[in-house]
Structure 1
Amino acid sequence: MLNTLTLNRKKNAAILLLILVAMVLFFAIQRVQQRLQPIPVLAPASLAVETLTLAPAPFSIHVGYVGSVMAGRVVQIPAQVGARVMAVEHREGDRVEQGDLLIRLDDRELSNEIQRLRANEQRLRSDFDYWERQNRRNITLRQQKVIPENQLDESRRMVDSLQASIHENAEALANAEIRLGYTRIHAPFAGRIARLMTEVGDLAVPLSKPLLELVSLQAMKALVSVPQVDIGRLSRGLAVNLEISAANLHLARRIEKIYPLLDPVTRNATFEVCLSCGPEALPASLYPGMALAATVVLAQYDEALSIPHHALLWRGDEQGVFLFEDGVARWRPLQSGAVEGGRVLIRSGLKAGDRLIVTPDFRLQDGLAVAVPVLGEVSP
């Protein structure tokens, strides 16, 4: 009985050993077969890119400069007669209308002179009337040979002398009245007083130091400085957008004139823009001397193709872009133009409807498989 149990145990152990060996051999064979099978080649994943469908749109080429607001007319007004300043009616910064009284000078001396000349005129005319009657009488008496010739000559000389004196007195009176008018200094045009250079009590000297400076507000202009290398790009009539921040003012104007001489120090050129030549009224907050920014529109295209600047690439000496065509990237050479606002004007090489790849990826190459995600189409 004991021998039978021992034999069965040995038999079971042998069976388990055989099963274990069989399993080891099975897995070993499977491992060898897996190693002998060829490794499958996986298809490369498509590169995800963003695209932009090209369409014509307005495109402008601009260049910016700086300048200043200038009065279209600046006049320094001097005294035309020597007299004491009696009154100053307006101060710096005051707005005045044409004909407004600005300064009043002492007119007492001239008023007295005018009164004297008018009194002298009455006396001379009275004497002239007397001697004219006397001369007519002497002519009659001489014809009758009642008086000698020298008496007639004397009356004639008196008439001629008095007539000359009346004419001379009239000229002096007219001159005095003109000079009296100069004692009232009026505004020759509407504007603003820029500088006042006299005060009450000062002695005004004719054609010497000006009494005040008046600037016109009805013919304001802008003077814009331009580097000499840019002057060839500008021409009369080009559109200019002006921004005067201090006056919160934006104006659309055109170049009126380009000055022929350069500044001897800066070597810059200057062009002029008329600020008052538009439909809108200029605000009272606009002052001569204010700084401004001028943007000149060098060219304007109603319909043009342009692309983002970062999408333009170089391959050696050739510039171009990658287009999305049938799931692959295609290199397209092109001719570009001006750069404005981060976009490049396209001269040739692209057409409306082309799908431009705008993803800046160094892995892009001609023929590379690419894919556009659902949200991968960007707006122009």
Structure 2
Amino acid sequence: MSKTARIVRFVIFCLIAVTLTIGGVLIVRHKKKELAAIPPPVRPLMAVYTAPVQSGSLADTRKYLGILRAGVSGQVSSQLTARIISVPVREGDVVKKGRLVAVLDSRIQRDKVKSLRAQVDAARTALVTYQGIYRRDLVLYQNKGLSKESLDRSDMVKAAAESRLKALQSSLRNAGVELSYTR
């Protein structure tokens, strides 16, 4: 391609660019004039609720974000393992010493108390029986109708029955305490 052809091409390109620029400016001016001639949109009327004038105190409420933490908190734990039947207090309630916070299922503890009462009664009956046998054996021993070994064995059985009765009575008291923990 020759040098003159290049110059002609460059001139044609510049003329096209200038023509497009002038045309764009004219179109923008024309659109601005059209927009200026259009009246602004009418704002709709706002609905306002009114109230009669009253005198009184105004409640000033404000909203804040924050975290509430208890000033004093405590751990609650049970003395025994049982199913929870009800919780008569709600989270956040103030609880003082002695207030009922949970009711536990007491069926196991009640059955244990009944069983131990029956065992104590049986042990008491056995002890009365062994005391009677010991007294009879003591009379026989004093009249030389029984050996010392048999009397000692009878005394040992009576002492074992007394110990068993004391142990069962202690277990019954402990079971009663456990039963009281369910309320």
Do they fold alike, i.e. is TM over 0.5?
Answer: yes
Matches of 1:128 and 1:154, distance apart in 2: 14
1:76 alignment partner in structure 2: 75
- Corresponding residue SS for 2:74: strand
Partner SS for 1:117: helix
Alignment partner, residue 118 of structure 2: 119
Residue 145 of structure 1 aligns to a residue in which SS? coil
CA drift at 1:74: 2.8
Measure the CA separation in 1 of the matches of 2:120 and 2:178: 18
**Cα RMSD (Å):** 1.9
Alignment of 1:94 onto 2:93:
yes
Report 1:1-380 matches (<5 A): 71=71, 73-184=72-183
The residue type equivalent to 1:78 in the other structure is S
Give distance in 1, aligned partners of 2:125 and 2:97.
Answer: 43
Unmatched 5+ residue regions in structure 2? 1-67
Deviation of 1:153 after TM superposition, in Å, equals 1.9
C-alpha displacement of 1:119: 0.7
Which structure shows the bigger proportion of residues in helix conformation?
2
Per-residue Cα deviation, 1:312-349 (whole angstroms, up to 9, x for no partner): xxxxxxxxxxxxxxxxxxxxxxxxxxxxxxxxxxxxxx
1:17-73: CA deviation from partner (whole Å, max 9, x where unpaired): xxxxxxxxxxxxxxxxxxxxxxxxxxxxxxxxxxxxxxxxxxxxxxxxxxx9963x5
The TM-score with structure 1 as length reference comes to 0.29
Q: Is the partner of 1:86 in helix, strand or coil?
A: strand
Matched with 1:230 is: none
Identity value in percent? 29
Letter in 2 for 1:108: R
* Distance in 2, Cα, partners of 1:98 & 1:70: 17
SS of the residue aligned with 1:95?
A: coil
SS for the counterpart of 1:172 is helix
Return closer, same or farther for 1:82/1:70 CA change in 2, 3 Å cut-off: closer
Q: How many residues align?
A: 116
Report the CA distance between 1:97 and its aligned residue. 4.2
Measured in 1, the distance between the counterparts of 2:100 and 2:81 equals 18
State how far apart, in whole Å, the 1-side matches of 2:121 and 2:92 are: 48
The AA in structure 2 aligned to 1:166 is: L
